[in-house]
Amino acid sequence: MIRSIRARLTLALVVLLAGGLVIVATGSVLLVRRYLTDRVEEGLSNASVKISARSAGGFTLPLGQLALVTPESGTAVAVDAAGHVLVSTGQATLTDPAALVAAAADLDPGDTRVIEDPLPAVVARIHTPGLRILLREGGTAVSAEYVVVGVPIANDRKVVRLISIVNGVGALIALALMGLLASLFIRIGLRPLTRMAGTADAIAAGERHLRLPAGGTGPETDLLAAAVNKAFDAQRRAEDRLRTFVADASHELRTPLSTVHGWIDLYVQGGLRDPDQLDHAMVRVEAEVGRMRLLVDELSLLARLDAARPLRREPVDVVALAAEVVEDALVVTADRDITLTGVPHAFLDADGPRLQQVLRNLVGNAVQHTRPGTSVQVTVSVRPEHVDIEVRDRGDGIPPEHLAHVFERFYRADPSRSRDPGGSGLGLAIVEAIVAAHGGTTGVTSTPGEGTTVRVTLPEGRHPDGPGRSGTPGRPAEPGPAH
């Protein structure tokens, strides 16, 4: 099996060319043969017309006149009623009059026949009752019952055979030349692909800065180079993100591990003899272990979301989930003004625990990254086919240069806050991943000095036993502990 593209293209072109040459050569041979056959038949037809015309008039035809009406290179044989040869005239190549007469014995007037003996020829029988032929001047005229005319075709066959040989040899030479030229041109045409393959191998070998050459090689190869370069760029960005992710995860784990190791080392060296000191050390170790467990759990969740595992969807009331989250937040941070407003109900076909985690992360993020006493407002609203969730705080806001990165993993607008209690830098990344798994979108707006708003938009679902719509936009939620 031929694997090389160049070989396959060359073979395809040669096969197509061979097919075309066969058609042309066959057509030319058939045309020449048809022409030669028509010429012979036309000569026989003209001779038949001329001889028959003289026979119908009862003319006496001199022997020389018979030779004149005979086709060029042909032979005419006059035969009497008894089948005896009276006279023959014409070319010496057909000198066996008896063979011509025998070949035409059962022919009908106007019909022809091809004979091979003594030489290849076409014969015709012309009935001439009443035709008299003068054998010699001043002699006696004899009556001819019919005339047999024969035209040799050996030369015509040689011409056809010669043309066939010339066409065959010419076709072989043309195929050889065209095969070489096609291979050369295809090799030249595929050079950009060869260079691309070399560059791709170099990139695979570690030279990540290289890119496939594009421009001036043709629209097809330029398009291919652009597509492959995009793939390489995407791969490089993915590798950069992975390296950053691993580095950030290592950093996040290194600090609590160092803390745990420090307390354990202090205990091993006998530095924690006092029971109170030991209790304090265990509390610190437990806190750091909890931080690592939280980080590992969040990383595991992101990995599952990245794997696009199916969600456990069921009818969920977003307002009820938001009320629970706000109520829990008020218990933990009693000094905060956290409110919930919006429609009384907003049903979605969603994964309830995951959606609740989105709300907890958004509210927790707003509480964690604002000053004590800062108000936080949670709003659930309904639009056609969508449910919107907004968490707005009245804090210091986020600088514009950081807004585009807040959903990135381990990203913090203020690096100095990398050790905020309970923070892993993955909260908003988890929000974005869960929302994307539900087919929704996330967004953030912020004004320095005025606060930040994180908005989540989810496609609306229908509760099988609930109202036809999720609620009435603008109507406040029922009062409860969340207010």
* pLDDT of 147 over the 60 cut: yes
Distance CA 64, CA 62 (A): 5
pLDDT at 473: 38
The more confident residue out of 370 and 69 is 370
Residue 28: the pLDDT is 93
CA separation for the pair 70, 302 (Å, rounded): 104
pLDDT-derived band of residue 224, with 50, 70 and 90 as boundaries?
confident
Cβ-Cβ contacts under 8 Å for 355 (sequence gap 6 or more): 316, 318, 321, 348, 434, 438, 458
Whether the predicted pLDDT of 476 surpasses 50: no
Q: Which helix (H) or strand (E) holds 148?
A: strand 141-152
Span 118-127, average pLDDT: 86
Q: Which residues pair with 451 in a beta bridge?
A: 447
- Is the CATH number of domain 219-306 3.30.1490.100? no
3-state secondary structure of 457: strand
Mean pLDDT taken over the chain? 82
- Please report the pLDDT score of residue 387 as a whole number: 93
| Other residues' Cβ atoms within 10 Å of the Cβ of residue 9 | 17
Query: Which structure tokens are listed for 314?
Result: 């069921």
Give the C-alpha separation, 281 to 288, whole Å: 11
β-pairing, 386-393 with 376-383? antiparallel
Q: Is the pLDDT score of 417 beyond 50?
A: no
**Count of residues in the chain:** 483
Comparing 258 with 463, the larger pLDDT belongs to 258
Cα–Cα nearest to 408, from 430, 391, 438: 430
Q: Please give the average per-residue pLDDT across 8-29, as a whole number.
A: 91
CATH 1.20.1300.10 matches 314-459: no
pLDDT, tens digit (0-9, with 9 covering 90-100), for 247-286 = 767 767 787 888 888 888 888 888 888 888 888 889 988 9
Average pLDDT over residues 219-238: 82
Amino acid 423: pLDDT: 57
Structure token digits, residue 202: 């170099």
Contacts 24+ apart (CB under 8 A), 6-11: 6/183, 6/186, 6/187, 6/190, 9/182, 9/186, 10/179, 10/182, 10/183, 10/186
Structure confidence by residue, pLDDT tens digits, 356-415: 989 998 998 899 888 888 899 999 999 888 999 999 999 888 888 888 888 887 776 655
Please, which residues have CB within 8 angstroms of residue 202's CB and are 6 or more apart in sequence? 210
Q: Cα dist. 156→39, 120, 121, 238, 300 in Å?
A: 10, 10, 10, 78, 90
Residue located via tokens 């591990």: 257
Residue range 82-108: mean pLDDT, rounded: 78
**pLDDT for position 229:** 84
Q: What is the pLDDT of residue 419?
A: 46
Rounded-to-integer distance, Cα 319 and Cα 407, Å: 24
- In the chain, the N- to C-terminal Cα span, in Å, equals 76
Q: Where do the structural domains in the chain lie, given as residue ranges?
A: 5-159, 219-306, 314-459
Kindly list the strands in the beta sheet with 376-383, ordered across the sheet, starting from the edge strand earlier in the chain. 338-342, 376-383, 386-393, 451-459, 441-447
Cα dist. 388→312, 319, 347, 383 in Å?
21, 11, 11, 8
pLDDT of residue 482: 40
The burial of 65, by beta-carbon neighbours within 10 Å (0-12 exposed, 13-18 middle, 19 or more buried), is given as middle
pLDDT confidence tier of residue 483, bands split at 50, 70 and 90: very low
User: What percent of the chain is helix, strand and coil (3-state, nearest 5)?
Assistant: 50, 20, 30
pLDDT at 424 over 70: no
Three-state secondary-structure class, residue 40? helix
The structure's pTM equals 0.51
Phi then psi for 461, rounded to 5 degrees?
Answer: -110, 180
Cis peptide before 310 (omega within 30 of 0): no
The pair of three-digit structure tokens given for residue 78, joined into one six-digit string: 């006059």
Angle at Cα 352 formed by Cα 405 and Cα 309, nearest 5°? 65
- The predicted model gives 448-463 an average pLDDT of 83
Q: What is the pLDDT of residue 161?
A: 94
Alpha-carbon distances of 202 from 192, 231, 240, rounded to whole Å: 15, 15, 19
Can you read off the two tokens belonging to residue 377? 């407002």
C-alpha to C-alpha distance for 79 and 459, rounded to whole angstroms: 107
Q: What is the pLDDT of residues 309-353, one digit of tens each?
A: 778 889 999 999 999 999 998 988 888 899 999 888 888 889 898
Mean pLDDT of 2-23: 86
| pLDDT at residue 22 greater than cutoff 90 | yes
- Asked if 244 and 223 count as a contact pair (C-beta separation under 8 A), the reply is no
Q: Say which residue, 437 or 64, is predicted with more confidence.
A: 437
Alpha carbon separation from 288 to 56, 96, 210, 360, 404 (Å, rounded)? 132, 124, 44, 22, 31
